[in-house]
Amino acid sequence: MASLAGAFAASHGPLIARDWDKLPEQQRTRLAAAFDELGRRFRACKPDIVVLVSPDHWVNFFINNLPAVLIGIGEQHDGPPEPFMKKVYPHQTLTGHPQFGRHLLDTALANDFEPALSHRLKLDHGSCIPLWRMGIGPEMPIVPILVNDLEEPMPSIKRCLSWGRLVKQAIESYPGSERVAIIATGGLSHSIGEATMGWIDEPFDRECIRHFEVGEERALSTFLERELPKTGNGAHEIRDWVVAHGAAGSKGFELIDYFPSPETLVGAGFASWRLE
Give the CATH number, domain containing residue 34.
Answer: 3.40.830.10
Backbone angles phi, psi at 156, to 5 degrees: -70, 160
Nearest of 273, 239, 230, 231 to residue 254 by alpha carbon:
273
13 or 197, which is more confident? 13
- Please state, in angstroms and rounded to a whole number, the distance separating the CA atoms of residues 116 and 127: 18
Rg (CA), the chain: 17
Q: Which residue type, as a one-letter code, is found at position 130?
A: P
Predicted pLDDT of residue 272: 98
- Please state, in angstroms and rounded to a whole number, the distance separating the CA atoms of residues 50 and 120: 16
- Domain residue limits at 70: 3-273
Q: Tens digits of per-residue pLDDT, 60-93?
A: 999 999 999 999 999 999 999 999 999 999 999 9
Band of pLDDT at residue 1, cut at 50, 70 and 90: confident
Band of pLDDT at residue 36, cut at 50, 70 and 90: very high
Q: Tens digits of per-residue pLDDT, 202-258?
A: 999 999 999 999 999 999 999 999 999 999 888 999 999 999 999 999 999 999 999
Residues 6+ apart with CB under 8 A from 63: 151
Nearest of 214, 59, 74 to residue 150 by alpha carbon:
59
Q: In total, how many domains does the chain have?
A: 1
Statement: residue 276 has pLDDT above 80: no
Predicted pLDDT of residue 196: 80
Q: Tens digits of per-residue pLDDT, 119-134?
A: 999 999 999 999 999 9
Upper half-sphere CA count for residue 262 (Cβ side, 13 Å): 7
Predicted pLDDT of residue 182: 98
* Pair 128, 78: CB distance under 8 Å: no
* Pair 174, 103: CB distance under 8 Å: yes
Nearest of 243, 172, 252 to residue 4 by alpha carbon:
172
Band of pLDDT at residue 113, cut at 50, 70 and 90: very high
Q: Tens digits of per-residue pLDDT, 150-209?
A: 999 999 999 999 999 999 999 999 998 999 999 999 989 988 878 788 889 999 999 999
C-beta neighbour count of 46 within 10 angstroms: 10
- Please state, in angstroms and rounded to a whole number, the distance separating the CA atoms of residues 182 and 101: 13
Give the residue-averaged pLDDT of 93-99: 98
**Predicted TM-score (pTM) of this structure:** 0.97
**Strand runs (DSSP E) across 132-220, as ranges?**
142-147, 179-185
DSSP character for 151?
S
